[in-house]
Amino acid sequence: MNLVSNRPFIAARVEVRFDRVAERLFRALGWQERVIPYTAYGDDGFVRVLGRVVLSPRFADTQLGKAAESFLRRRGWRNFVTAVCVHARYTIRVGEAEVTGTTDRGGYIDHRVRGHGLGPGWQTGEVRTAHSEPSTVPIQVLGRDITFGIVSDVDDTILTTMLPRPMVAAWNSFFRVEATRQAVPGMAEFYNVVLRRHPGSPVIYLSTGAWNTHGFLSRFIARHRYPIGAMLLTDWGPTNTGWFRSGVAHKRAALLQLVVDFPHVRWLLVGDDGQHDPEVYGDFAHANPANVAAIAIRQLTPAEQILAHGTIEPLHVNDGLPVGIPLIRAADGRGMQRQASALLGSE
């Protein structure tokens, strides 16, 4: 007798039913399919295309609708009000390749396209559904000579949010205006200096934050002059096995996938000591030393530590990193840049 059910967790099934009912309602009201593209990445062998298919009212395409959306989206709560298209069919065109697929139960696209024929550098692709306008997808294609990259946490690493304390996190995510979110001093310059020493190298923003915040994060990154790069976020809510997703498991899986995708790339892993970054990065370095160039940990202040996890004691990278992997600790990007001279070389 098979005692293990293959059915998704009950909360996931309820969520799908709710989304399907909402989708039918909004379609009856005349809402149309729209593709939200996320930044893609790849090399000459594949491109990983990410995005989401949602419904939006016809009003949204007018000048007034666009102005209203631009105003509302700068309030955090607006990012989480979304009508998704469950299991919608889509078509992706990247270079010489055209493929089709179906979104998951959250309306998300995560599709690997092969045989695209694109050259290294920033390129574009296209995603559309049978009932949507085409959406342009920015794609960073790595050349075979690229052997370095940056993986960066987001919360309390490039912007201050005081996560994961629930009340503070909810306030920052849902209610604060985008313009009030502060960048961590010196981090953008640190990343840009590193990339000037490694032209063509990627930045991957790896966070436990929700995909709903992708638009905000893109605007934040551009406003504060961080380098543009793909984001690997997560979908809040129930999974096939439980009520909530594991942020630690998400980060571990994403790092391992980067090793599979780019086995020849060594990563500068940047995070903070208020969450699980030291543990995740340390374990990853022990398991994959050839894929880690250095680990850089932003040291939170005692006040930030208390807001982040209720104690003034910071989290530490596992002792005894493999030989040759530097560990950088500093309160901001300026301190990291001063300590990283061996990694950066002379400017």
pLDDT the model gives residue 71 = 44
Q: Which domains does the chain have, with CATH numbers?
A: 10-141 (2.60.40.10), 148-344 (3.40.50.1000)
d(CA 126, CA 16): 27
d(CA 138, CA 134): 13
**Do residues 76 and 173 make contact, with C-beta atoms less than 8 angstroms apart?**
yes
pLDDT the model gives residue 175 = 46
pLDDT the model gives residue 12 = 53
What the block records as the tokens of 217 is: 């994060």
pTM for this prediction: 0.83
d(CA 347, CA 334): 15
The contacts of residue 73 (CB under 8 Å, 6+ apart) are 79, 178, 215, 216
Q: What are the two backbone dihedrals, phi and then psi, of residue 22, each rounded to the nearest 5 degrees? A: -60, -40
Segment (H or E) for 209 = strand 203-210
pLDDT the model gives residue 246 = 65
Helix, strand, coil shares of the chain, percent, nearest 5, are 35, 30, 35
What the block records as the tokens of 206 is: 């790896």
Tokens 């609708």 -> residue: 65
pLDDT the model gives residue 200 = 95
**Do residues 20 and 86 make contact, with C-beta atoms less than 8 angstroms apart?**
yes
pLDDT the model gives residue 68 = 42
CA dihedral 174, 179, 184, 189 (to 10 degrees): 140
d(CA 77, CA 174): 4
How is 85-153 classified by DSSP, letter by letter? -TT-EEEEEETTEEEEEE--TTSEEEEEEE---PPSEEEEEEEE-TTS--EEEEEEEPPTT--EEEEE-
pLDDT the model gives residue 80 = 45
Characterise 286 by phi-psi region: left (phi > 0), alpha (psi -120 to 50), beta (else): alpha
99: nearest Cα among 112, 83, 86? 112
DSSP state of 183: B
What the block records as the tokens of 296 is: 């850089």
pLDDT the model gives residue 18 = 65
DSSP state of 311: S
For the chain of 347 residues, list the mean pLDDT of each consecutive stretch of 10.
42 62 76 94 97 81 48 44 84 98 92 97 97 96 96 92 51 51 92 95 94 89 96 71 65 97 97 88 95 94 64 60 88 93 58
d(CA 197, CA 174): 38
52: nearest Cα among 100, 113, 133, 106? 106
pLDDT the model gives residue 313 = 55
**Do residues 48 and 112 make contact, with C-beta atoms less than 8 angstroms apart?**
yes
pLDDT the model gives residue 171 = 47
DSSP state of 229: -
